[in-house]
């Protein structure tokens, strides 16, 4: 069996391909009778003798719960089904007679809407069509791919590896208008379908970055929030968004979507922080202070926090430290994790304030 990975997923655990997933893929998404026949035949020929024998028993059986067997019966006419079963028989019984005609795919009827495509097989174009169907299917096929087959009976059904590759390939190569149409249409899909779509996006850093390139403002928040809502993988979606987002979108991401801590940890932190007005910069700093409660502070984030604090004016530092204290973000643990000098600055600010008040009081008395 082979293994595969989807998109740019950072998981190191390989996923094992199941032959029946490939077989089901060709039966469901083959563009015509010829392509379905050739695809399934090719997969049957890859089976080991034991697997072929088991597959033949399933196809000849009458198990109402066997989805593959049911799909096989509805996908092929009797003659085509018989020839495909002969392929299986030949795998574990090489001496059996196999019709020479089996090498030819069944011709669709003249009334078949896809009859013209079937003739492409003779020139090898069927194989090309198969590849195109995997990498860039039509929008309707994409919707079929991401929609659970039986959402009521099988909630949360996941895509097969072939379906994931097809969806990932389509989204990666789609033109801007095609990409946006898929995401706009997905608002009317089932929750299971939306989860499959946004899982594919979250698995691929380049697709997440594409959200930041194709959308701005509130639309960017809408679709990145959906990705965060449905995606449960290991990729850092927020970091991938910050990689490609415009500087103009940073205040929205920090103030409305809670990207503050991620900004402080990001490679673009200095670039981003230098463009922010005080309130937004303060919120970004609050974000990393919140994470510091659990000691989750990298060296880079600590350095960026210190530089951001140093960039504030004395008045801004006073306001910032007062607000941080109100939020409970100036505990010894947080201060030690980020910047031990904060405590000294707080004391200095307090001393300066008291000194100023004393001097003003003395002036009043002198009058």
pLDDT of residue 97: 46
3 bridge partner residues: 16
Contact 113, 32 (CB under 8 A): no
362 pLDDT band, cuts 50/70/90, is confident
Tokens of 76: 């092929």
Tokens of 233: 């993988």
Averaged over 17-35, what is the pLDDT? 78
Tokens of 169: 């390939």
Q: How many CB atoms lie within 10 A of CB 262?
A: 23
d(C-alpha 355, C-alpha 361), whole Å: 10
156 to each of 141, 148, 183, 337, how far by Cα in Å? 19, 7, 19, 41
pLDDT of residue 15: 46
The answer to whether residue 16 scores a pLDDT higher than 80 is no
15 bridge partner residues: 4
For residue range 190-207, list pLDDT tens digits in order. Answer: 787 788 888 889 999 999
Nearest to 258 by CA among 239, 279, 276, 283: 283
Q: Which range is least confidently modeled, 12-16, 40-44, 252-256?
A: 12-16
Q: What is the DSSP string of 64-85?
A: TT-HHHHHHHHHS-HHHHHHHH
The answer to whether residue 323 scores a pLDDT higher than 70 is yes
For residue range 258-291, list pLDDT tens digits in order. Answer: 999 999 999 999 999 999 999 999 999 999 999 9
Residue with tokens 């390139």: 213
For residue range 88-125, list pLDDT tens digits in order. Answer: 998 888 866 444 444 445 554 544 445 444 544 444 44
Pick the more confident residue, 42 or 306: 306
176 pLDDT band, cuts 50/70/90, is very high
257 to each of 117, 149, 185, 250, 266, how far by Cα in Å? 48, 33, 23, 10, 16
Q: Which range is least confidently modeled, 29-38, 44-53, 154-163, 224-233?
A: 154-163
d(C-alpha 356, C-alpha 350), whole Å: 10
Contact 56, 85 (CB under 8 A): yes
pLDDT of residue 190: 77
């Amino acid at each position: 069996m082979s293994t595969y990975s989807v998109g740019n997923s950072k998981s190191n655990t390989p996923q094992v391909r199941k032959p029946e997933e490939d077989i089901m893929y060709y039966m469901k998404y083959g563009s015509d009778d010829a392509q379905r026949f050739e695809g399934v035949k090719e997969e049957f020929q890859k089976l080991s003798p034991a697997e072929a024998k088991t597959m033949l028993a399933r196809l000849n059986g009458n198990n109402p719960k066997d989805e593959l067997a049911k799909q096989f019966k509805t996908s092929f006419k009797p003659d085509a089904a018989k020839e495909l079963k002969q392929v299986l028989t030949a795998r574990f019984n090489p001496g059996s007679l196999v019709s020479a005609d089996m090498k030819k795919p069944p011709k669709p009827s003249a009334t078949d809407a896809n009859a013209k495509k079937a003739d492409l097989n003779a020139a090898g174009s069927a194989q090309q069509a198969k590849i195109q169907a995997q990498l860039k299917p039509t929008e309707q096929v994409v919707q079929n791919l991401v929609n659970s087959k039986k959402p009521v009976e099988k909630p949360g059904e996941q895509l097969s590896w072939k379906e994931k590759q097809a969806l990932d390939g389509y989204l990666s190569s789609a033109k801007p208008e095609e990409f946006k149409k898929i995401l706009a249409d997905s608002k009317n899909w089932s929750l299971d379908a939306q989860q499959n779509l946004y899982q594919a996006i979250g698995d691929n850093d380049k697709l997440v970055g594409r959200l930041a390139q194709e959308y701005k403002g509130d639309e960017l928040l809408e679709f990145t929030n959906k990705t965060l809502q449905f995606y449960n993988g290991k990729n850092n979606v927020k970091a991938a968004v910050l990689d490609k987002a415009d500087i103009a979108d940073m205040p929205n991401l920090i103030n409305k979507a809670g990207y503050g801590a991620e900004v402080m940890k990001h490679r673009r932190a200095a670039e981003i922080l230098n463009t922010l007005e005080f309130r937004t910069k303060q919120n970004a700093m609050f974000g990393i202070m919140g994470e510091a409660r659990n000691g989750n502070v990298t060296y880079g984030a600590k350095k960026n926090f210190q530089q951001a604090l140093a960039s504030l004016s004395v008045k801004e530092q006073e306001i910032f430290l007062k607000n941080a204290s109100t939020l409970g973000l100036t505990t010894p643990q947080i201060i030690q994790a980020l910047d031990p000098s904060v405590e000294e600055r707080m004391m200095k600010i307090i001393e300066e304030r008291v000194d100023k008040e004393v001097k003003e009081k003395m002036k009043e008395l002198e009058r």
